[in-house]
A and B are shown apart, each in its own frame.
Chain A
Amino acid sequence: MGDTPLHRDGNWLAGPLSEILAVEPTRAWWRCPTCGMAGPLAQLHVYGPEPGLTARCPGCTRVALRLVKEADHVWLTMGGATGAFRFRTA
């Protein structure tokens, strides 16, 4: 799907996030600190999958989460300018 500038949504984060989370994430609730819109992770707007997944607020496009997949690692940052965690997955 990758080659389109259109976004998809957080439903498709279930697989990539399953590598590092113990709980199924798509129902997780999130409130945007910029515009106040709230809803489940499944309904975030998601750009990618390459070069990485960027999940944004459907209301104001603020970055909610970024995830980059390497062969044996997943990089994850919650929010925009916060530091990223690098998880070993293999």
Chain B
Amino acid sequence: MGTFSPGFHGRARGLADKLPPGQYPTESFPVLSAGPTPRVPTETWTFTVTTENGDSRGWTWDEMMALPQEDTVHDIHCVTRWSKFDTPWRGVPVDAFLEDVETAADYAVAVSHGGYTTNLPLEDLLDGKAWVVHTYDGFPLSPEHGGPARLLVPHLYFWKSAKWVRELRLTLEDEPGFWESVGYHNYGDPWREQRTWDD
């Protein structure tokens, strides 16, 4: 150590109580992507909840916007080590979509336009811990950041907050998603630094 690249520190990593281990704070909002950015018009947008029995319930954009809306502010933590504090969102708590759904599922897979998936325990989506958001900092969510609507699960690493979300599929068994199936941690708690498979 110390014999290569003297004076290289990577991005400045500071200390703060709000900062999970191994993270650095950023003012910018980096865009990470595993594929082309889908363009999803709100006219044809739908959001569907499908149970383990195959029963499904759907919402159009207008129906989603007619549900009770919440303004919510969170710190977000990306597994690529940036954290962004006090990000302001507006959207619908996931609870609202699951209110009348009969299910015995313990898990959910969020499915996005473009084929991205991510898996979570169902309880991590309930009790005001997760939202389907459509507005960031007062403006419609841009396509680069997952617009017209993305999942927001701020207590887990940000790859769990699926961009361009179109469906929640409830499952009895845990089904690893796009990154979870290639080495990333199945749960992804930033405070326990659950980045990779065996963390």
Task: State in angstroms the CA–CA spacing of A51 and B159 once bound together.
Answer: 9
Asked whether, in the complex, the Cβ of A83 is within 8 Å of the Cβ of B181, the reply is: yes
Determine whether B66 belongs to the interface, using a CB cutoff of 8 Å to chain A. no
Q: Say what secondary structure dominates the interface of chain B.
A: loop
Q: How far is the CB of B136 from chain A (nearest CB, A)?
A: 16
Chain A residues with Cβ below 8 Å from B31 are: 3-5
Which of B79, B144, B181 lies in contact with A77, CB distance below 8 A?
B181
Segment of B33-41, B84-92, B126-134 engaged in the interface with chain A: B33-41
Most chain B CB within 10 A, of A5, A66, A80, A86, is at: A5
Asked whether, in the complex, the Cβ of B33 is within 8 Å of the Cβ of A5, the reply is: yes
Which of B32, B144, B196 lies in contact with A2, CB distance below 8 A?
B32
Chain A residues with Cβ below 8 Å from B79 are: 51
Task: State in angstroms the CA–CA spacing of A56 and B123 once bound together.
Answer: 33
Asked whether, in the complex, the Cβ of B32 is within 8 Å of the Cβ of A51, the reply is: yes
Asked whether, in the complex, the Cβ of B35 is within 8 Å of the Cβ of A56, the reply is: yes
Chain B residues with Cβ below 8 Å from A5 are: 31-33, 37, 144
Task: State in angstroms the CA–CA spacing of A47 and B30 once bound together.
Answer: 14
Determine whether B183 belongs to the interface, using a CB cutoff of 8 Å to chain A. yes
Chain A residues with Cβ below 8 Å from B42 are: none
Q: How far is the CB of A42 from chain B (nearest CB, A)?
A: 19
Q: How many residues of A contact B (CB 8 A)?
A: 26
Chain A residues with Cβ below 8 Å from B181 are: 77, 83-84
Q: How far is the CB of B61 from chain A (nearest CB, A)?
A: 23
Determine whether A19 belongs to the interface, using a CB cutoff of 8 Å to chain B. no
Asked whether, in the complex, the Cβ of A52 is within 8 Å of the Cβ of B35, the reply is: no
Determine whether B60 belongs to the interface, using a CB cutoff of 8 Å to chain A. no
Q: How far is the CB of A5 from chain B (nearest CB, A)?
A: 4
Question: Hey, what's the 0/1 contact readout for A40-52 against B, CB within 8 Å counting as 1?
Answer: 0000000110111
Question: Hey, what's the 0/1 contact readout for A60-90 against B, CB within 8 Å counting as 1?
Answer: 0101001110100101110010011010000
6 pairs from A and B in contact (CB 8 Å cutoff):
A52-B179, A63-B115, A73-B183, A75-B197, A76-B182, A86-B197
Q: Which residues of B contact A (CB under 8 A)?
A: 30-37, 79-80, 114-115, 144, 159, 179, 181-184, 196-197
Q: Which residues of A contact B (CB under 8 A)?
A: 2-5, 7, 47-48, 50-52, 54, 56, 61, 63, 66-68, 70, 73, 75-77, 80, 83-84, 86
